[in-house]
Amino acid sequence: MYDVEKVRADFPILERMVGDKKLVYLDNAATSQKPRQVLEALNEYYTEHNANIHRGTHRLAEEATAAYEGAREKVARFLGAPDFRGLIFTRGTTESINLVAYAWGRKNLREGDEVVLTEAEHHSNLVPWQLAARATGAKLRFVPVREDGALDMEAAERLIGSRTKLVGCIHASNVLGTINPVERLAELAHEAGALMLVDGAQSAPHLPMNVEELGCDFFACSGHKMLGPTGVGVLCGRPEILEEMDPFLGGGEMIREVHLDHSTWNDLPYKFEAGTMNIAQAVGLGAAVDYLNELGMENVREHERRLGKYAYRRLSEIEGITIYGPKEDRTGLISFALPDVHPHDISQLLDEEGIAIRSGHHCTQPLMRRLGTVATARASFYLYNTEEEVDRLADALVRVREFFGAFA
């Protein structure tokens, strides 16, 4: 049985007050809070093991290296990656996708080639490809988002073809909560001889994950959205593809042999890890993954599914509210709008009740245009949120409506 109160006790920040109100943290799609276990792992690393990794021949360097490489194996297992050589630590999803767009894209894309993305992409899986397209002459094509928030898969079948070199898709939408059929897109991509990249920033924290089953060639996610520290993320790629790619950043550690006029590259994954890495953060992410495994991702998903359903029902009761995205099969986040109240005003008024939500374009300006708006309010849930907190949100939204209505 999933005991949410026991989970909450592991998150010290959930005890804090905002003014005289107890914090209700519903901005988890932006970043999650961290359990004591992660904070302690960071503290222990810096207090007892801190050293630079791989090159030192002293005790601390060996301990630090073991902690860092241990974290790599934990994260690889968590994502279902069969080969830890394909697990590259980055700064986050954005850097992971940029790595592919530069190191794979610039080498392999040519004029006439196409990269197929969707209208629902976060800017992090759009702008790197715009830059790669500009540098290579390749073209970007977009799978449309239907009225109900789902991808138009018939259009996807038409768009993905012989010109397609890569298909990129956000796994779970950070605005709509839609879980996209990336397995099917991967099939279509592979039938066309293209590669498949999955942006897992909003799925890895919330769904049981297996990159092999997804069938993708690249999978990117961020540590800080899944209980880990900021500054660490992951690119999980097929080693045989990563081998053929050019390096991304040049410098220390990523080399085998350096001459004044040329160099050769280190083995995977080190070829893509130039300079001193985010060692402590990676160790912290390892601890986060341990924590998630302890809870069980099936249980986390079930908790969020139930909470999301409850939230959808409670918010639907509010007069005049618009809820974006599908009704069923969604992750635990809800984007919404109230008539005549701007999302910024909603989040400001909720803040005064201690409730943290996000408002704005959520780094998805093209999707906002598709939805016919410039901004939405978004409440996003995680494994420590409760029905009681959903009630506080719903009740506060009714007061926001009344407050703005009073000035009509």
Partner 1 sequence: MMRELYTQIIMDHYKRPRNQGEIEGPDIEEHLLNPLCGDEITVYAVFDGDRVSDVKFTGRGCSISQASASMMTERLKGTSREEAEKEIKGFKAMMVGEMEFPETDDLAALKGVVQYPSRIKCATLSWTAFQNGMNEEDGS
Q: Which residues bind partner 1 (CB under 8 A)?
A: 19, 342-345, 348-349, 352, 359-361, 365, 368, 374-375, 403-404, 407-408
For partner 1, the closer of residues 310 and 404 by Cβ is 404
Sign of CA dihedral 398, 9, 209, 44: positive
Q: How far is the CB of 310 from partner 1 (least distance, A)?
A: 26
Per 3-state DSSP, the chain is made up of helix, strand and coil in percentages (nearest 5) of 45, 20, 35
For partner 1, the closer of residues 238 and 358 by Cβ is 358
CA distance to 5, 189, 226, 242, 380, per residue, from 2 (Å): 9, 38, 18, 39, 19
For partner 1, the closer of residues 22 and 342 by Cβ is 342
* CB of 220 closer than 8 Å to CB of 93: yes
Q: How far is the CB of 125 from partner 1 (least distance, A)?
A: 18
For partner 1, the closer of residues 327 and 369 by Cβ is 369
Sign of CA dihedral 125, 177, 25, 315: positive
The single residue of 169, 216, 221, 363 carrying the catalytic annotation is 363
> If DSSP codes are grouped into helix, strand and coil, which group holds residue 163?
coil
Q: Is 236 a catalytic residue?
A: no
173 closest CA partner among 279, 331, 56: 331
Tokens of 391: 């009630």
Q: How far is the CB of 41 from partner 1 (least distance, A)?
A: 32
> If DSSP codes are grouped into helix, strand and coil, which group holds residue 352?
coil
Q: Please, what is the angle between helix 279-295 and helix 59-79, to 10°?
A: 40
Q: How far is the CB of 316 from partner 1 (least distance, A)?
A: 24
Q: How far is the CB of 388 from partner 1 (least distance, A)?
A: 22
For partner 1, the closer of residues 327 and 344 by Cβ is 344
CA atoms within 13 A of residue 270's CA, in its CB half-sphere: 18
Q: How far is the CB of 407 from partner 1 (least distance, A)?
A: 4
For partner 1, the closer of residues 208 and 360 by Cβ is 360
* CB of 251 closer than 8 Å to CB of 271: no
> If DSSP codes are grouped into helix, strand and coil, which group holds residue 25?
strand
174 closest CA partner among 380, 366, 322: 380
Q: Which one-letter amino acid corresponds to residue 339? A: P
Which residue numbers are catalytic? 363
